[in-house]
Copies of this chain bind each other. A is one copy, B any other.
Amino acid sequence: MIRTAVLGATGYAGIELVRILSGHPEASIEILGSQSFAGKPISEVYENFAHVLENECEKLDLDRAAECDVAFTALPHGASKDVIPSLIERGLKVIDLSGDFRYDDVKVYEKWYKQEHSSPELLAESVYGLPELYRDKIKTARLIGNPGCYTTCSILGAYPILKSGLGSSENIIVDAKSGVTGAGRGIALPYHFCECTENTKAYKVATHRHTSEIEQELSKAAGKDVMISFTPHLIPQKRGILSTIYVNLNKKCTTEELVEVYKEFYRGEYFVRVKEAGSLPETKHVAGSNFVDIGMVVDERLNRAVIVSAIDNIYKGAAGQAVQNMNLMFGLDEKTGIANAGFYL
């Protein structure tokens, strides 16, 4: 049994981790870290857990943490940076769900996050936790920067067309739509039910931090610097991200040929489902699962590909992917505990 600590267990990403781990056959939840709800059973904070998991939330105690094998840090931004070095020092593996350990270049982090990085040496060591691209490195890593939700969806959607050389690195547009769980459980007027329902909007146009994370990975795919337009939108649903990605083609191809490129690239990947030509992803096909669905249409009139990718933002975009990383780090089949189909309903 892998002994796990979930730090920040009562946020939305944290509680989804708890939900997944509570059904994981090879992991136990030893610590439910929560500053705000310390002393309270998790089943009072999230009443769906009554009779299933009734452990008390607790404040961070590094000595107790030291008894665990791995910590998931789903802490408010900045907080994880102080905690993580201590956890690593005590011999834990750490999977961090914040943006702090996702970057190859500390300068890119500091530019987009507008602050100095407190552990540049750990950043240098950390591995970007996107198993479909970095499986081998993840297996031996001590510290994982678990990818963002928009980024997981967008990178996996655009990677093969760039890697294959079929797609141009110029004029890439990523137009992404996210459900409201992506904003977390903090309360604020824009997330009031009456303000959210029956409403769609764009936000942080041209400035969202995930832009830099997507560009980092797509630049590696293209073999040169890629800059993209990334526009996040808030849509009135709980779970789900749909990224619509526009890429100009370097040479003519059909939808079927492009699908074949994707199928080849993702051959053997359980969690990536490339749709046949004529079929496109929908967020309800992935909600509640670790799958990434990718479909595409080549617009031969314009010599441009439109690629649509979908994930569940708090599952493959956060908690599920974190568990996928844990599975890899501890030598398990990466599907363990997360192989299920989505809810659909």
* A residues apposed to B, CB below 8 Å: 12, 15-16, 19, 22-23, 46-53, 171, 173, 175, 177, 179-181, 185, 187-189, 191-203, 205-206, 227, 229, 231, 233, 235-240, 242, 244, 246, 248, 270-271, 273, 279-289, 291, 293, 297-299, 301-302, 304, 306, 308, 314, 339-345
Contacts and interface: CB of A to CB of B under 8 A. Distances in A.
Contacts of A293: 47, 50
A314 B298 CA distance: 31
Nearest to A315: B345
A334 to B, nearest CB: 13
Contacts of A188: 187
Copies of this chain per assembly: 4
A237 B238 contact: no
B187 A227 contact: no
B302 A227 contact: yes
A258 to B, nearest CB: 12
A199 B284 contact: yes
A291 B344 contact: no
A202 B16 contact: no
B187 A194 contact: no
Contact of A50 (B15, B179, B273): B273
A289 B191 CA distance: 23
Nearest to A287: B198
A238 B200 contact: no
A337 to B, nearest CB: 10
A201 B93 CA distance: 38
17 contacts: A19-B344, A47-B293, A50-B293, A51-B270, A180-B194, A187-B189, A192-B192, A193-B193, A193-B236, A198-B239, A198-B287, A199-B283, A201-B282, A206-B306, A229-B246, A229-B302, A236-B237
A295 B192 CA distance: 23
Contact of A199 (B200, B240, B298): B240
Contacts of A16: 345
Contact of A236 (B15, B175, B236): B236
A280 to B, nearest CB: 6
A278 to B, nearest CB: 11
Contacts of A200: 177, 235, 237, 240, 242, 282-283
Contact of A48 (B15, B246, B344): B344
A49 B179 CA distance: 22
Contact of A345 (B227, B238, B297, B340): B238
Contact of A171 (B12, B171, B203, B287): B171
A328 B203 CA distance: 36
Given A192-B192, A205-B308, A19 B197 contact: no
A198 B193 CA distance: 11
A89 to B, nearest CB: 34
B177 A235 contact: yes
Nearest to A50: B273
- Among A181, A197, A199, A314, residue most surrounded by chain B Cβ atoms (within 10 Å): A199
A239 B193 CA distance: 12
User: Which of A201, A271, A308, A342 has the most C-beta atoms of chain B within 10 angstroms of its own C-beta?
Assistant: A201
